[in-house]
Structure 1
Amino acid sequence: MKTAELIFIPSPGIGHLVSTLEFAKLLIDRDDRISITVLVMKLPTTPHVDACTKSIAAASQSRIKLIDLPQVDPPPLEFIRRFPEYFITLFVESQVSNVRKVVSEIIVSHDDDDSVRVTGLVVDFFCVSMIDVASELSLNSYVYLTSNVGFLNFMLYLATEHMISNSTEFESSDSELLIPGFVNPVPVSVLPSCSFNSNGYTTLIKLARRFNEVNGIIVNTFSELEPFAFNLLSGGLNPPVFTVGPVVDVKGQANLDFDEAQSKKIMRWLDDQPESSVVFLCFGSKGSFSQPQVKEIAIGLELSEYNFLWCLRVSPPDNDVSNQSINDDIFPEGFLERIRGRGMICDWAPQVDVLAHKAVGGFVSHCGWNSILESLWYGVPIVTWPLYAEQQLNAFKMVKELGLAVEMRLDSRRDQSDLVMANEIAKAVRCVMDGDSETRRKVKEMAEISRKSLMDGGSSFISIRQFIDLNF
């Protein structure tokens, strides 16, 4: 039997890494002739990645092989918070020679075996510098986009627009952009955070310009979710787009901070709550709040009068990571006593398990794309509270383009000083928990569509087959 080996190159961010591995699992589950080697880059700031990647790959019966790339000196670590996209791109570029060496060795190892052929590189969109390696070795290259088609539309627009304007960054303003693939004008205020500094903007341009050089673009979405955006890309003016999602970690294997005792405590508490009675607040691994904002959230939850599970990370004073604890004094006086029995506060929660629980009726989220797909998969409507990366654009898309989320903020950012006030929070929670709302009805409908897309004959099922067939 002829076997095709694909080499995956994810960026080192945990959300990107997990999504890439889950897509790899989808491919090998669909076709016995596919094997996958994943080249893993390790950052000094993500020491827990090993356990995560190995737990996911372990389920593949050896058809997903992990190779750790040699350690390289990273760019200055202070860039991680100030210019994360710039930092990641520099770090990835420093690995090009290592990737070239490893891929060459893999190809040579198959010289005496006609049944196995390396057919291409699948690279994360932060890793498009690896396209050059594919070209040198006469391999096809594909970009895997862990975000949505809307973000892809933005990137393609950016590459074209920059050729006209030659800008160095976007300036915060009330203006709007006409971006192909969006039904509505897009406010500048919801563009990705890195668009507003020259390092980040230059990085986006550099990445976006490479998209048209690949043999295909793979996107973690399904065509029924973004029909307008997807149809625009079907005209042959860009590489073929394969919608393969929702690619979600439904088994929750990616929990870096997994705490079995805490997980059981949370699930037992949810078991005691009525159906669709709990609003879940969770903001990803980087989502933390100042103490004044924590107090506003607490007051807002109390005013909403709904039960809640709040996964809370407090921003450390003066960036002192050792001082990031949750103390009683960060809450309004008497708050913990007043909410006893109807509220639970934790520093970590098994997000997938929580969203799957029948007691959860709403989700206040930072709008990371993985979290959005998980919420849609389980039919839980979202309240938008974006914080960083492209989350503002995701929030805009979910509220204004698709009508699948409740708007609290679309343009909030982690480093802003203005607070989201308690009355805004209470209003949004009441709205998302409304059992008869149009948003809830549409989300429940999209949950069913999302699952059907991956079933035999579904849109993503067909798209995955089309991608596989390119390798034979």
Structure 2
Amino acid sequence: MELMFVPTPSISHLIPMVELAKLFTERDDRLMIKIFIMKQPSDSKVSAYIESLNSSSISNRIKFIDLPTEDEPTTSFNFFSFIESQKPLLKDVLSKLTLVEPSSDTSRVAAFVLDMFCTPMIDVANEFGIPTYIYFTSSANALGFTFYNQTLHDEHNQDILAYKDSDTELVVPSFVNKVPAKVLPSGLIDNPLFFVNLARRFKETKGIIINTFMELEPFAINSFFNAKTPLVYPVGPIMNLKGETHETQKPQNGFDVMKWLDDQPLSSVVFLCFGSMGSFEKDQVKEIAYALEHSGCRFLWSLRKPPPSGGIASPSDYTNLEEILPQGFINRTQGIGKVIGWAPQVAILAHSAIGGFVSHCGWNSTLESLWFGVPIAAWPIYAEQQLNAFEMVKELRLAAEVKMDYSKSKQIIVTAMEIERGIREVMDPNSEIRKNVKEIKEKGRKALMDGGSSHSSLDRLIVDLMGNIAHRDQFS
């Protein structure tokens, strides 16, 4: 039996999808997986990551197939138009592979598994008569909000934009608490109709695989059972914990992060890191520095340089940290803290010296932090991170708040006082948050074990996939 994976050409979506492919092949040795790779112009991260996988011990039942690379765009790059433009390329590659010829052994294709932003590829799957499943790489609550937005638009004739920056609290079926309009996902505000269409297309599929687990989001997951949605399969937490990476940087000046952490007391260091796209301007950097210095906490701070405005480049490392930090900060904090550039996040979170994590609340980072039992101080920046932060702080009590409704697009400065308050709360050794995180850490591990909730959910999914082939054989 074969599965066709189509990931979004973004490293933060590709890695969870590859980890899902590994999970499938580890669970059932009858499964073969082809992963079709779209490459964005001028993006070397995807290629570097796949190269690192090919040189590692990834299963020979997982095969990467590159779609043809098109010329650089002459106008500004549009991500969603790019996905749409790949449809004929995927169709052509599939045709050449003769994947669904009834007389061919290669016709044993059970399903397409599409990344959440690759819904245009449903059209290609339909042409080949193959069912589709969505892999939703964020939380069950974010999925619930996506369906809520569509229901609001299609059934109640309301535009989510009407609530922008208001004090309204929304009653969303997947949330226990009312959701403040101020934590609406920035992408939703920028392009609400796109997300309406996304949810519509989700409903055309046979199922939605979610990178979460029942014990983490029970209310949200249960909200789908009687809803007008496809079957939902929570199979997480799915993470890349084995070290394959698209990054080749090392912390500057030969500084050995892990060796420094080895010398710190247990759970004494707060780690600040804001993801592959996280960076701040000089005024905000100074507020963070003042907060760290005044808190007196040991710290490890991954500080990245913002890319030039108007481009799609990623943050980079500073060649001279003195140019961005307050004068004398490095000398004054020499005994208790370190400022670095790119950071090996998983390895750092796994270290026993880490006691708290100031994070942007990207879903991958959130799952990693919970896996290692590190409580989060929530400081979202963009995308659905505000919604994730609200869930972690208010719904689940697994995070402290720095500024839950922060968005980079609002161009506000989070004060040193707000940052310090969040740091002190997340580093409190006796806090309820720390106790809750320790409990969910154990539950996340059990969910993946034989008989656990996610283990059982994946078994159900594989049975359903096998049923797809049996159904097609019956009517072929």
Give the TM-score category using the shorter length: over 0.9
455-464 or 236-245: bigger deviation:
236-245
Aligned to 1:452: 446
Aligned to 1:7: 4
What amino acid is aligned across from residue 68 of structure 2 in structure 1?
Answer: P
Choose which of 59, 66, 69 in structure 2 pairs with 1:68: 66
Choose which of 311, 329, 339 in structure 2 pairs with 1:335: 329
How much does 1:253 deviate?
1.3
Deviations 1:252-295 (Å, cap 9, x if unpaired)? 31342443888970001101111101000000111110101111
How much does 1:189 deviate?
1.1
Q: Distance in 1 between matches of 2:75 and 2:375?
A: 37
Aligned to 2:121: 130
Q: Distance in 1 between matches of 2:289 and 2:217?
A: 35
Choose which of 175, 186, 189 in structure 2 pairs with 1:182: 175
Choose which of 443, 464, 469 in structure 1 pairs with 2:463: 469
Q: In structure 1, the residue corresponding to 2:109 is in which secondary structure? A: strand
Q: In structure 2, the residue corresponding to 1:436 is in which secondary structure? A: coil
Deviations 1:117-156 (Å, cap 9, x if unpaired)? 1111000110011111111111110000000110110111
156-165 or 16-25: bigger deviation:
156-165
- Percent identity over the alignment? 48
What amino acid is aligned across from residue 352 of structure 1 in structure 2?
Answer: V
Q: Distance in 2 between matches of 1:207 and 1:129?
A: 9
Q: Distance in 2 between matches of 1:463 and 1:109?
A: 28
Aligned to 1:302: 293
Q: Distance in 1 between matches of 2:74 and 2:373?
A: 42
244-253 or 47-56: bigger deviation:
47-56
Q: Distance in 2 between matches of 1:417 and 1:183?
A: 30
Q: Distance in 2 between matches of 1:358 and 1:294?
A: 27
Describe the shift of the 1:260–1:308 C-alpha distance in structure 2 as closer, same or farther (beyond 3 A).
closer
2:273 counterpart of 1:269: no
Q: Distance in 1 between matches of 2:64 and 2:81?
A: 23
Aligned to 1:33: 30
Describe the shift of the 1:131–1:318 C-alpha distance in structure 2 as closer, same or farther (beyond 3 A).
closer
411-420 or 383-392: bigger deviation:
411-420
Describe the shift of the 1:236–1:24 C-alpha distance in structure 2 as closer, same or farther (beyond 3 A).
same
What amino acid is aligned across from residue 270 of structure 1 in structure 2?
Answer: L
Aligned to 1:365: 359
Q: Distance in 2 between matches of 1:224 and 1:415?
A: 33
How much does 1:316 deviate?
5.1
2:417 counterpart of 1:423: yes
Q: Distance in 1 between matches of 2:327 and 2:248?
A: 30
2:202 counterpart of 1:211: yes
8 Å CA contact 1:181, 1:229 repeated in 2: yes
Choose which of 51, 56, 69 in structure 2 pairs with 1:54: 51
Q: Distance in 1 between matches of 2:286 and 2:12?
A: 29
Describe the shift of the 1:90–1:175 C-alpha distance in structure 2 as closer, same or farther (beyond 3 A).
same
Q: Distance in 2 between matches of 1:143 and 1:75?
A: 28
CA RMSD of aligned residues (A): 2.2
How much does 1:357 deviate?
0.1
Q: Distance in 1 between matches of 2:237 and 2:316?
A: 37
8 Å CA contact 2:449, 2:455 repeated in 1: yes
How much does 1:97 deviate?
0.8
Q: Distance in 1 between matches of 2:52 and 2:32?
A: 18
2:281 counterpart of 1:290: yes
1:92-241 alignment, distance < 5 Å: 92-108=83-99, 113-114=104-105, 117-163=108-154, 164-165=156-157, 167=159, 169-170=161-162, 171-197=164-190, 200-235=191-226, 237-241=228-232
Deviations 1:152-205 (Å, cap 9, x if unpaired)? 1011111111112253835321212111111111111111102223xx212111
How much does 1:226 deviate?
0.5
Q: Distance in 1 between matches of 2:209 and 2:337?
A: 41
Aligned to 1:441: 435
Q: In structure 1, the residue corresponding to 2:39 is in which secondary structure? A: coil
How many pairs were matched up? 460
Aligned to 1:83: none
Describe the shift of the 1:319–1:310 C-alpha distance in structure 2 as closer, same or farther (beyond 3 A).
farther
8 Å CA contact 1:385, 1:412 repeated in 2: yes
8 Å CA contact 1:75, 1:90 repeated in 2: no
158-167 or 351-360: bigger deviation:
158-167
Q: Could you tell me the TM-score, scaled by structure 2's length?
A: 0.92
Long gaps (5+) in structure 2: 467-476
Q: Could you tell me the TM-score, scaled by structure 1's length?
A: 0.92
8 Å CA contact 1:9, 1:123 repeated in 2: yes
Describe the shift of the 1:98–1:300 C-alpha distance in structure 2 as closer, same or farther (beyond 3 A).
same
